């Protein structure tokens, strides 16, 4: 089968279509000026999830400088999986540290050298252009802290609807509520260092606590950039039970009553 004729004419033909639909033209110069990403993933017994996440990050069209996995002492093979990736991919780094989501995130951030720190959960799955879209948004907005639009991978409509509701709340409140989800938090490294990172005394609400403090030093945004994640907590605890729990703690989060929030039981899965 012969190939298409007159290939050199294609860019000229594409220009009217590009202008009509306003398709952004990505140049090499734009990519060269883009921020450098450090991905930080706290893990604890995530053998079933960490491999697919690393695969999705290693296949990014805009590659991160480093992917740091901060493990809290897993005994299920998580470390062995990450170490196998690290042998094949030098940008994957492994760190074993004291258990605790905030402590693990802070430990991983201590090794990071990128401009933007991207804190992710092990059950996240990033589309191939996720970091590219974040880079372009950062070039345009210069935010200090941001979260993406997270979507459930599960087919249950109830979980998808709940996540949609959270996203709408966070997007509408980005200028005043300054809330977001720990599913993924993106923060400038210089801002992260100025505010002292995550508060490791908090086991609940530590993500919003960080967003509030970071937003005092710059712009906070809830980005219209999709990131897949899991609704496994809804599946494990039951949709209505977890929904009522979130409804109960929302006033504490909005008002920033962190001390009272820590009285709630919210153990990691």
Q: Which domains does the chain have, with CATH numbers?
A: 31-261 (3.90.550.10)
pLDDT at 150: 97
- pLDDT at residue number 1: 42
- Residue 32: the pLDDT is 54
Model pLDDT, residue 31: 52
- Among 64, 160, 29, 24, which residue's Cα sits nearest to residue 53? 64
pLDDT of residue 265: 87
pTM of the predicted structure, to 2 decimals: 0.87
pLDDT on residue 33: 61
Distance CA 191, CA 179 (A): 17
Residues 6+ apart with CB under 8 A from 228: 124, 125, 126, 127, 150, 151, 152, 153
From its phi and psi, is residue 181 left (phi > 0), alpha (psi between -120 and 50) or beta?
beta
Structure token pair of residue 146 = 């941001």
Contact 141, 204 (CB under 8 A): no
Across the chain, which has 269 residues, the per-10-residue mean pLDDT values are 36 36 40 82 97 97 97 96 97 96 97 97 97 96 97 94 96 92 97 97 96 97 97 94 95 95 85
CA-CA distance, 206 to 88, in Å (whole number)?
Answer: 33
DSSP annotation of 198 reads S
Radius of gyration from C-alpha coordinates of the chain: 20
């Amino acid at each position: 089968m012969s190939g298409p004729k007159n290939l050199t004419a294609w860019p000229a033909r594409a220009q009217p279509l590009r202008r009509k639909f306003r398709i952004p033209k990505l140049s090499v110069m734009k990519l060269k000026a883009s921020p450098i990403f450090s991905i930080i993933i706290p893990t604890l017994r995530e053998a079933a999830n960490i491999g697919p996440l690393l695969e999705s990050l290693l296949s990014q069209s805009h590659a991160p400088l480093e992917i740091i996995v901060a493990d809290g002492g897993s005994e299920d093979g998580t470390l062995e999986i990450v170490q196998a990736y690290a042998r094949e991919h030098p940008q994957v780094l492994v760190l074993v540290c004291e258990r605790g989501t905030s402590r693990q995130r802070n430990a991983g951030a201590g090794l990071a050298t990128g401009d933007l720190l991207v804190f992710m959960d092990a059950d996240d799955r990033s589309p191939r252009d996720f970091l590219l879209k974040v880079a372009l948004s950062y070039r345009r907005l210069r935010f200090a802290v941001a979260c993406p639009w997270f979507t459930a991978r599960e087919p249950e409509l109830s979980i998808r609807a709940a996540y949609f509701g959270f996203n709408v709340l966070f997007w509408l409140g980005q200028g005043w509520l300054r809330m977001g989800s720990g599913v993924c938090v993106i923060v400038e490294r210089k801002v992260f260092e100025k505010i002292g990172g995550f508060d490791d005394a908090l086991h609940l609400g530590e993500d919003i606590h960080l967003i509030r403090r970071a937003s005092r030093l710059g712009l906070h945004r809830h980005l219209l950039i999709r990131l897949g994640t899991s609704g496994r907590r809804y599946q494990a605890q039951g949709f209505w039970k977890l929904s009522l729990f979130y409804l109960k703690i929302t006033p504490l989060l909005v008002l920033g009553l962190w001390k009272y929030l820590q009285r709630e039981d919210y153990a990691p899965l």
